A and B are shown apart, each in its own frame.
Chain A
Amino acid sequence: MGVSAPPIQPSPPDILKESGQREVFCGLTSIVWLHRRMPDAFFLVVGSRTCAHLIQSAAGVMIFAEPRFGTAILGERDLAGLADANEELDRLVKDLLERRPEIRTLFLVGSCPSEVIKLDLAKAAERLNTQLLGRVRVLNYSGSGIETTFTQGEDNALLAMLPLLPSSDEEQLLIVGTLADAVEDRFRLIFERLGITTVRSLPPRRSTDLPPVGKGTRVLLAQPFLSATARALQHRGATLLSAPYPFGVEGSRDWMAAAAHAFGVPTDRFNAVLDPLVERGRRALEPHREVLAGKRLFLLPDSQMEIPLARFLSRECGMELVEVGTPYLDRQLMAADLALLPPDTQLSEGQDVDLQLERVRAARPDLVLCGLGLANPLEAEGIATKWSIELVFSPIHGCDQAGELAELFARPLRRRALLQLS
């Protein structure tokens, strides 16, 4: 007898759709964690000085001697003639790879300007692949702000890798989405205990260790922003497992349960492995739940993690949800998390930041999840905030991290209680 998958009862609350000024990064920003995941890959943005400045400002790249990402900054000459731009790109890639012989995969990343001038990076990648045959693989994708938001950059990067995945109908569990290495190791260990032995990851730790895909592949998404990749994997024959995302104890347990169900893991075995983790995770949550319970939370759109986080913070930490914003809503990918949200939750999709801030001010929530551009201004108005960018850089997945994840939200409130400045 297998573990039953979590129930899914879509009960769509009314959604507020807005379009206007967005206080959200573009897809280029995903490079910041993707390049850490694949230390043998280089991400070359073909764009403007703005692109370069964006990535370094978002990442604080000065800590690197020579980062594994850079920008081929378009100059006036490149704009004047595309033929020259292609030659320039080839020259620049050649120089770059001579300096960095350890690079195995080069991602050419399209930006707003490269898209607008219609610089064909797919063709450039094809051309460079012929030139560099066997040494470096060149892929391309778009991280442009006119087409992608913040975390969609990873979706596009993974999508670009898919054609390289070998085909195999081997039974396997494929975890899709960048995880911190330590978290990934932990998940693999737990799956092993459950008896699921063939577990692979996309993106892999080495850009050349690409997992196969085929009819035996069960895909478990570790991140909620991989719509295009998930669909493309299904086209290759893989089955997409529906589950809440592995944030918090409940989400992580249900996420693993979806895999256990798909692989026919007996219930008693699943419980024997997971119950102690669940128990320990709940204990770790408890002190933070005391701080968060009953507090009103407003989530501004940023990383697509807002809905699963809202689910965790409301169900496991007892927070009240004022509004849950998301850059865009993919109902299929969010189905399990949406079903677990309180039925009257106000969702909003897209953003008109001035209008949204007016709603924040009117609601006076106890905590706002928002980007770095808005955090200090809201704090200055007396509203506590949690920076959202930390959530894409910190290990927050899994039962073992539930306490840490709750702590990230409790800390601003604890800090406010600690400070006695007047």
Chain B
Amino acid sequence: MELTLWTYEGPPHVGAMRIATSMEGVHYVLHAPQGDTYADLLFTMIERRGLRPPVTYTTFQARDLGGDTAELVQRSIRQAVERFQPEALLVGESCTAELIQDQPGALAAGMNLGVPMVNLELPAYSKKENWGAAETFYQLVRTLLKPQLPAPGTPKPSPSRWREEGRRPRVNLLGPSLLGFRCRDDVLEITRLLAEHGIDVAVVAPLGARPADLERIPTADANVCLYPEVAGPVCSWLERSFGTSVVRTVPIGIGATATFLRELHGVLDLELPADLQTVEGQPSEAERRSRLPWYSRSVDSTYLTGKRVFIFADATHAIAAARIASRELGFQVVGLGSYSREQAREVRAAAAELGLEALITDDYLVVEKAMGEAAAELVLGTQMERHSAKRLGLPCAVISAPLHVQDVPARYSPQMGWEGANVIFDSWVHPLMMGLEEHLIGMFRHDFEFVDGHRSHLGDGAPTAAGTGEPEAAAAPVAAPVPAPGTTTAADAVREALESLWTADGEAELAKIPFFVRGKVRKNTEAFARERGLARIDAEALYDAKAHFSR
């Protein structure tokens, strides 16, 4: 039993709904009680879908439990097939139905429905949404491709068979789904990118695909695993069973997009264009196609140097963000984590590369605590981290599911490819103060017009108390732990004890430090005082600490 106040991922059957709703011609019969239909609003409200999810809920009640719920399942299946005439049927159960063991999949198998049927067994008490999506996608593809399975010992198809067949090479884009972060635009961006390199897209799935499209998957020369959370298992299975190569680099960011293109050219045995070869002094495709490289080098971006960034997201976006932040924007990554336990190993490896230990958790309060302790200056996270960051007074950009209606913007805003890199530059940098602006605030902060802590571009208005004490809570993570009332009495006592250490001249000196680093300086100085056993923190102690930490 685990106390959950909020969860990053829904139950696994919601993952199955994501697959069914992403596709056309698929229907999902879900053995579930009243109330489980709430999941429909994820699609109709967050994604603003104009169609109901293709899901039939059996809606069993307590009084049915004594009777024949199996008959209810069969009736629901029969009616759904008649009404919706699906090209493929998914049959499964939600958490409660799993307990009553009606085995709806087995019942459906005995019904002679005349459509391909997938019996989904998604353990609701041990697995979560992304696992459910991946498993459903894999089971559906496997069921539909069964008749095409090559005999054991069949040689692997050559990824360059396109050449012999006298056509352009083609790949599948696997993984994009509803409720995935910016999938709609990523598909468009990657399709364009591939077209520029003479590569066609055979099948995009699950988003927008029909069962018949899934049957065309083996016609591609390679599979692109765009979202490992959803397409990882299916790509591995296709590689094992059909010998189809998989391109696993996720093209988010400049480096990753270039690597992706090189990997793709290698797999397809295509000649690498000159501007994808790393030749000194030669403009790269990235420079030509994206603004991020130059924007990042331009002088205004100097202020980005070493900005402390805390990252928490699904594995794909967390790993990509860490790479972009550290290599392409010159930030310092001070925290990296994910709620995707299935990809924990990859996240741990990415963190280790940055000298960090990855935070793998699904407890948002643990994430918020880590965010505060890391003394971050920018947070890249999910909508929940946006709220946590707001409480800590930190700027934040959202980089990952779970989605909010805001994460399905009207405008084109991919994360992948060259345009994705542009979108990322804007959306990560805008929450921060721009370089020249930061410089000017530092210069004029003693002017009477200047209200400490006010960041005009964030529209958060002036802090209520215009003095020097109050705005700190907004700017300094360590000073604003925002606990639930009465939770941290011991910590409060420590806090008070530390605050009483400060002398008037120490406080005065601290107030001269720009508010956006003041919290960090205060925390460091207090740590220094504690370590040295200082009885008072005066201006000298502050400068001693500053020298100590600048080593």
Chain A interfacial positions (CB closer than 8 Å to B): 20-29, 44, 46-50, 52-54, 56-58, 61-63, 65-67, 69-76, 78-79, 85, 88-89, 91-92, 95-96, 99-102, 112-113, 115-117, 144-147, 149, 354, 371-377, 379-381
Q: Is the CB of A380 within 8 A of B50?
A: yes
In the complex, 14 of the A-B residue pairs with CB atoms within 8 angstroms, ordered by the A residue number, are: A24-B34, A50-B95, A53-B39, A54-B35, A62-B387, A73-B4, A74-B125, A79-B125, A95-B3, A116-B96, A116-B99, A146-B34, A146-B62, A372-B41
Residue of B nearest to A84 (CB): B1
**In angstroms, how far is the closest chain A Cβ from the Cβ of B390?**
10
Q: Contact at A78–B1, with CB atoms within 8 Å?
A: yes
- Residue ID in chain B nearest A142 by CB atoms: B62
Q: How many residues of B contact A (CB 8 A)?
A: 61
Query: CA separation between A53 and B14, bound complex, in Å?
Result: 10
- Asked whether, in the complex, the Cβ of A52 is within 8 Å of the Cβ of B94, the reply is no
Q: With A57-B42, A65-B484, A72-B1 given, is the CB distance from A146 to B95 under 8 Å?
A: no
Q: Which 7 A-B pairs have the closest CB atoms?
A: A26-B35, A380-B50, A145-B35, A373-B40, A112-B96, A88-B1, A48-B95
A71 contacts B44, CB within 8 Å?
Answer: no
Partner-A contacts on B (CB < 8 A): 1-7, 9-11, 13-14, 33-42, 44-45, 48-52, 56-62, 65, 76, 79, 83, 94-96, 99-100, 123-126, 128, 365, 383-384, 387, 391, 404, 482, 484-487
Question: With A50-B94, A145-B33, A147-B62 as given contacts, are A354 and B83 in contact (CB-CB < 8 Å)?
Answer: yes
How close is A270's CB to chain B, nearest CB, in angstroms? Answer: 42
Pair B100/A66 contact, Cβ less than 8 Å: no
A-B contact count (CB 8 A): 198
**Bound Cα distance from A52 to B404, whole angstroms:** 17
Residues of B with C-beta under 8 A to A95: 3
Query: Which residues of A are found within 8 Å of B485, using beta-carbon distances?
Result: 102
- Do the beta carbons of A99 and B44 come within 8 Å of each other? no
- Determine if A54 and B3 form an interchain contact, defined as CB atoms under 8 angstroms apart: no
Rounded to whole Å, the gap between the CB of B341 and the closest CB of chain A is: 13
- B13 proximity list for chain A (CB < 8 A): 50
Q: Which one, B1, B61, B94, contacts A85 given CB within 8 A?
A: B1
Q: Given contacts A48-B96, A146-B33, A380-B50, could you give 4 more A-B pairs where the C-beta distance is less than 8 Å?
A: A70-B5, A113-B96, A144-B62, A376-B45
Residue of B nearest to A27 (CB): B35
Q: Which residues of B contact A65 (CB under 8 A)?
A: 391, 482, 484
Min CB distance A91 to B, Å, is 8
Q: Contact check: which of B5, B7, B62, B79 meets A66 at CB < 8 Å?
A: B5
| CA gap between A271 and B424 in the complex, in Å | 65
Main secondary structure of the interface of A (DSSP, over half): helix
CA distance A35 to B135 in the complex (A): 37
A371 to B5, CA, bound (A): 24
In-complex Cβ contact of B7 among A29, A49, A91, A147 (8 A): A49
**Distance (whole angstroms) from the CB of A355 to the closest CB of chain B:** 10
**Cα–Cα, bound, A67→B387 (Å):** 13
CB–CB B95/A49 < 8 A: yes
Beta-carbon contact of A67 and B5 below 8 Å: yes
Cβ-defined partner of B1 (8 Å) among A23, A74, A371: A74
Residues of B near A374 (CB, < 8 A) are: 40, 44, 52
**Chain A nearest CB, measured from B225 CB (Å):** 26
Contact among B2, B6, B96 with A146 in the assembled complex (CB-CB below 8 Å)? B96
Q: Do A112 and B35 contact each other (CB < 8 Å), given the known contacts A101-B486, A146-B61?
A: yes
Complex alpha-carbon distance, A146 and B44, angstroms: 24
Are A146's CB and B1's CB within 8 A? no
Bound CA span A320–B466, Å: 57
A91-B61 Cα distance, complex, nearest whole Å: 31
Which A residues are in CB contact (< 8 Å) with B391? 65
Contact B34 A70 (CB under 8 A): no
Q: How far is the CA of A373 from the CA of B52 in the complex (A)?
A: 7
| Residue contact A56 to B1, C-beta cutoff 8 Å | no
Neighbouring B residues of A26 by C-beta, 8 Å: 33-36
